Amino acid sequence: MAFLLLLQVLLLLLCLAVYFRHKSRFPLPPGLPRWPLLGNAFAIPTEAQHVFFKRLGAKLESKILHFQVFGQSMVVINDLKIAQDLLDKRSAVYSSRPRSRMLMDIMGIDFLFPFMPYGNEWRNRRRIFQRYFSPKNMSKEQDRQLEFIWKGLLPNLLESPQRFPEHLLSCLGGMITSSVYGIPVKRSSDPNVECQEHTFLVSEGSTTGRFLVDLIPALKYVPEWMPGAGFKTMAREWSFMVNRVISDMYTATLKGMDDGTTRECFVSWSLNEQRENDSGETNLQSGILQETAGTIYKAGTDTRLSTALTFILAMLLHPDVQRKAQAEIDAVVGSSRLPDFDDMPHLPYLSAVLRETLRWNPVLPLGIPHLTTEEDIYDGLRIPKGSMIIANSYAMLHDEDNFPQPELFKPERFLKEGKLNPDVFNPETTATFGFGRRICPGAQTAISSLYLVMASILALFVVSPELDSEDKPIEVGPRFSESIISRPLPFSCRITPRGDKKVENLLKEYMNFEII
């Protein structure tokens, strides 16, 4: 008996020796002291986490950090090269996603493929997306974008400029609604477009760690009536709203295909292609297509709207930048027509403004977390299997080594001798839209729509401060929300027709469209 006890003690000591030897050889990345069980749960703030992680990295002199929250390993990457080394070059290990308990288990919304774990279901949905949103369909989508800007956004801004957030939503959300479902869209206050603002609630639910149930999964079994279980009431209401909207939109498209009122779109094109091929190659089932369409509808508007609002705010705060961009547009486009996509290569300063807008306020400052499927060693540091990997795009796009004075809005940082500088890394292709196999597949469509929105507004309008009762400019500062998506907090400004442009004449043929 004594021998067996001694043997157990020796085995235990051997295991501990191996553990600490392994730990000393490959330590975890630097982090904060941890409490037993709780880990760093109360050390990480609930707001402005991207700023906290950046400052902590500077304090600890490390571009990669490690935390543990209720037993969950979490690694934060503040450096572009490290993100590329791990998420791009080692994508076989870093391409999955942590499961959002609030979104998937409580809300029951498990079909949004950007949040799916890496695997066949994710591949099927992404493949369906890419078959339609491919280069061969790009010109068709750009024509749709032009239509919504010329017939919707610009007339709306001329008639009621104070409602610019609503008009941007109507335009950008209308593009997505038409692109995905092909149903007619009102140029203003379309209920199907306004529903997209409601689906912004999904962003709250999808923020891993936003709710305690994401960190303590057992809380999903707590009854809704118990004190502190308000998250379950929220989940039920949000889930009902989102699922109803997505189901109704898909049904409306099918009905429109039958009666001939649906224009070509993602849903109709995908169904027609499947019928023509009848090969089953895309594994296209009604449920999968409906879910993929709902994902695009939900995810396509939030980020574009946030970027467009950031652009308006930047023009308000930096009138010198606005004037330079307008001068360039005038020199290329002239005064007798509106900008179009053929102008894009000839407007480097405007392209720099777009890049700086994406850099200045990254709309997904912490991206969408990745998950490691195997333990990994990087630069002598151990990254445990099952770690949540957070790529802090805010820290990368505000890195003083790459972008001096990062808090300033300076499009010139992307230019050299009047041309775009290829030596400055481009937020259109790096950090903003994710990394590796999980990079956003709709990035190019989003960039083209934002480019034309910006060019069109600057070609016809001036953004200036709103005046108070004493005709003094109302001061506005760069303040942003703290959700998974960063957008400017509500602000007021004036958007008025440029005095040197015959705006009404340029828009005359587009003013009377109520349906696009």
What would the pLDDT profile of 92-115 be if each residue is shown by its tens digit? 999 999 998 888 888 888 888 999
Three-class HEC string of 230-284: HHHHHHHHHHHHHHHHHHHHHHHHHHHHHHCCCCCCHHHHHHHHHHHHCCCCCCC
CATH number of the domain residue 487 falls in: 1.10.630.10
19 in a structural domain: no
Average pLDDT over residues 199-228: 75
pLDDT of residue 245: 85
Q: What angle do CA 330, 331, 334 make, to 5 degrees?
A: 55
Contact 497, 158 (CB under 8 A): yes
pLDDT, tens digit, for every residue of 129-183?
999 999 888 999 999 999 999 999 999 999 999 999 999 999 999 999 999 999 9
Q: What is the mean pLDDT of residues 76-105?
A: 95
Q: Model-level pTM?
A: 0.91
Q: Is residue 11 one of the residues assigned to a domain? A: no
All residues at 6 or more sequence positions from 138 whose CB lies less than 8 Å from its CB, including other chains: 444, 445, 448
pLDDT value at 5 more than 60 = no
- Give the residue with greater pLDDT, 283 vs 175: 175
Angle at 456 between CA 363 and CA 334, to 5 degrees: 140
**367-395 average pLDDT score:** 97
Q: Is residue 4 part of a domain?
A: no
The mean pLDDT value for 280-309 works out to: 83
* Reported confidence tier of residue 202, pLDDT bands at 50, 70, 90: low
156 burial level (CB within 10 Å; 0-12, 13-18, 19+)? buried
Q: CA of 409: how far to CAs of 132, 304, 403, 405, 450, in Å?
A: 36, 19, 11, 9, 18
Q: Is residue 18 domain-resident? A: no
Is the pLDDT at 243 greater than 90, yes or no?
no
Of residues 226 and 316, the one with the higher pLDDT is 316
Give the residue-averaged pLDDT of 217-242.
85
Q: At 515, give phi and psi (nearest 5°).
A: -120, 135
Confidence of residue 375 (pLDDT cuts 50, 70, 90): very high
pLDDT greater at residue 305 or residue 193: 305
Looking at residues 355-372, what average pLDDT do you find?
A: 97
Is pLDDT at 4 greater than 50 in this prediction? no
In this predicted structure, the answer to whether residue 20 has a pLDDT above a threshold of 60 is: no
Three-class DSSP category at 99: coil
Does any domain span residue 101?
Answer: yes
Mean pLDDT of 466-487: 90
Nearest to 344 by CA among 265, 444, 256: 444
pLDDT digits (tens, 9 = 90+) for 420-468: 999 999 999 999 999 999 999 999 999 999 999 999 999 999 999 999 9
Distance separating alpha carbons of residues 402 and 55, to the nearest angstrom: 16
User: Is pLDDT above 90 for 46?
Assistant: no
Question: Largest Cα–Cα distance in the chain?
Answer: 99
Is the pLDDT confidence value at 339 over 80? yes
Q: What is the mean pLDDT of the chain?
A: 90
The neighbouring-strand residues paired with 473 are 467
Model confidence at 195, in pLDDT bands (50, 70, 90)?
Answer: confident
Whose CA is closest to 224, among 216, 232, 214, 213? 232
Domain range for 252 is 26-510
Question: Is the CA virtual torsion 173, 178, 181, 185 positive or negative?
Answer: positive
Say whether 493 counts as a known binding-site residue: no
319: pLDDT strictly greater than 70: yes
423: how many CB neighbours lie within 10 A of its CB? Answer: 6
> How open is the CA angle 106-172-461, to the nearest 5 degrees?
140
Tell me the sheet residues that pair with 370.
389
Q: Does the residue 197 lie in any domain?
A: yes
Is 8 within the bounds of a domain?
A: no
Give whichever of 154-168, 201-215, 271-285, 466-480 has the largest mean pLDDT: 154-168
Q: How many domains does the chain have?
A: 1
In the chain, the percentage of residues whose pLDDT exceeds 70 is: 91
First to last CA, the chain: 85
Nearest by Cα to 308 from 351, 266, 260, 358: 358
Q: With respect to residue 17, please indicate whether it lies within any of the assigned structural domains.
A: no
Cα 216 to chain center, whole Å?
26
